[in-house]
Copies of this chain bind each other. A is one copy, B any other.
Amino acid sequence: MNDAARPPLDFYFDFISPFGYFAALRIDAIAARHGRRAEWHAMLLGVSVMKVMGLKPVLETPLKGPYLTREAARYARRHGIETKRPFDGPAMNPLPAARAFHWVRRHHPERHRAVGAALLDAYWRQGVDLEAPDTIAAIAAEHGADRSGCRAACESAEGRALLRAAVAASLARGVFGSPYVIADDEPFWGVAALETLDAWLATGGW
């Protein structure tokens, strides 16, 4: 089959996850390098980690929380990524942004990557308050989405239902972290696994 017909890579991220942000900066290039495209999915670590896995938030986990904060800063330095948002929290409430994102995916599917990337850029690189629906809608509108529809989706029944369905679908596929990529049913968790994903796609797997 030709490239356009090949199934997309499914890329899962949480807006509150710096490693999800780092992966978002690379996933489309990795996909394109192998003649693929990426479908982006906002997920919720609060559901997968706390409710399904029964763990506490990673930033509140002794030893691991401080390690991951340090690793995020190290990754950012290595890759020349400058951010205004501290990696050690506190994390925002990701629900309005995640609802708006999934509303864009439904109603402007061709814009969903650009809107997702712009929301992550605003939160992480620019340090913008991304809990405010007006801000979310303005950013989405800059990237071709309907501003009032997007604004409403941050709190509406439709926005809630779209996000709830997306999170349920992610859990049904086993997604528990951010970033998480599924390529042809093969899962890759974490930003370091992007190298493995790249090799997997290049070789056809092993």
**Which residues from chain A sit less than 8 Å from chain B, CB to CB?**
48, 52-56, 61-64, 66-67, 70-71, 74, 77-78, 171, 174-177, 187, 189-190, 192-193, 195-196, 199, 206
User: Is A67 touching B206 in the complex (CB atoms < 8 A)?
Assistant: no
Q: Point out the residue from B53, B77, B193 that lies within 8 Å of A61, measured CB to CB.
A: B53
Inter-subunit contact B77/A206 (CB<8 Å): yes
Q: Is the CB of B174 within 8 A of A63?
A: yes
Is the beta-carbon distance between A206 and B78 smaller than 8 angstroms? yes
B66 engages A61 (CB within 8 Å) = no
Q: How far is the CB of A7 from chain B (nearest CB, A)?
A: 20
Partner of A189, one of B48, B61, B67, B193: B67
The answer on a CB contact under 8 Å between A176 and B63 is: yes
In the bound complex, how far is the Cα of B49 from the Cα of A64, in angstroms?
9
CB distance from A168 to the nearest CB of B (A): 13
Could you tell me the distance between the alpha carbons of A70 and B188 in the complex, rounded to whole angstroms? 10
Q: Are B193 and A67 in contact (CB under 8 A)?
A: no
The docked-state distance in angstroms from the alpha carbon of A48 to that of B67 is: 14
Distance in angstroms from A62 CB to nearest chain B CB is 5
Question: With the chains together, A174 CA to B177 CA distance in Å?
Answer: 23
